[in-house]
Structure 1
Amino acid sequence: MPEYTTILDGLEVTMRLGIHPHEAAPQRVRLSVWMTVSYSRQPSGDRIEEVLDYDFVRAGVHRIAAGEGFALQETLVDAVASLCLGDPRVRSVRVRSEKMNIYPDATVGCEVVRTR
């Protein structure tokens, strides 16, 4: 079975994320997702129906960001990983989050890798 890595990199959303009082307001968060996807055969028809359409990941992340928010980045990346693993062709997923504006000289992030 051929495997491909489908990547959604640098998606920026505004959402509630954090435990500190100054994080009560929505803040900028950057998310990147790498999915290892297995297909029963190599795509041959150059049609989206043959492969994973990453639109569902982008739309799902936007829905998650529009929700109530999270206290922890760990919870956020787990939610995105679960979204991706909802497609049975996704064998493994790596999700990274980064808070963009916590420090003036660095981002603060978290990453999870989940495998079936």
Structure 2
Amino acid sequence: MSARFTTVLEGLEVMMGLGIHPSELAAAQRVIVSVRMDVVYPTPPNEDRIDAVLDYDFVRTGIHALVAERHFHLQETLCEAIAALCLSDSRVERVTVRTSKPDIYPDAAVGCEIVRER
């Protein structure tokens, strides 16, 4: 009997190059990233060990590496890159990625959310 879990990385704050406007091209800005992964295991984990489940450290580390290696013009392409990272683990069947730029407007954040499946 397979087991389904949702693994969440919520509210990861990164400083990164993101955007198309001159001010966004000139300096890093704060971006908030949240990821929800639907993960399927062959059986429910019966041992209390990290190697029995998806270790979300790889997602956090991978996001930090993605944002360090390049400037993204669009939140959409950033979301796609993060989704591909998550789906690189074969146990992840579905991923929801949300990004938000909280400092663009004084009264609202702007963001993007995508859902990708195998």
TM-score for the superposition, normalised by structure 2: 0.97
1:14 equivalent in structure 2: 15
Deviations 1:29-81 (A, max 9, x none): 00000000000000001111110000000000000111121100000000000
For the pair 1:59 / 2:57, whether they are aligned, the reply is no
Structure 1 letter corresponding to 2:75: Q
2:24 & 2:76 partners in 1: Cα distance? 16
For the pair 1:80 / 2:82, whether they are aligned, the reply is yes
Query: How big is the alpha-carbon RMSD for the aligned residues of Structure 1 and Structure 2?
Result: 0.5
1:39 equivalent in structure 2: 41
Higher relative strand content: 1
Displaced runs of 4 or more, over 2 A: none
Q: Secondary structure at the residue paired with 2:102?
A: strand
1:110 & 1:12 partners in 2: Cα distance? 15
For structure 2, the residue ranges without an aligned partner over 5 or more in a row are none
1:69 equivalent in structure 2: 71
1:93 equivalent in structure 2: 95
For structure 1, the residue ranges without an aligned partner over 5 or more in a row are none
2:41 & 2:70 partners in 1: Cα distance? 35
2:24 equivalent in structure 1: 23
Q: Secondary structure at the residue paired with 2:98?
A: strand
Structure 1 letter corresponding to 2:112: C
Which shifted more, 65-74 or 1-10?
Answer: 65-74
2:71 & 2:65 partners in 1: Cα distance? 11
TM-score for the superposition, normalised by structure 1: 0.98
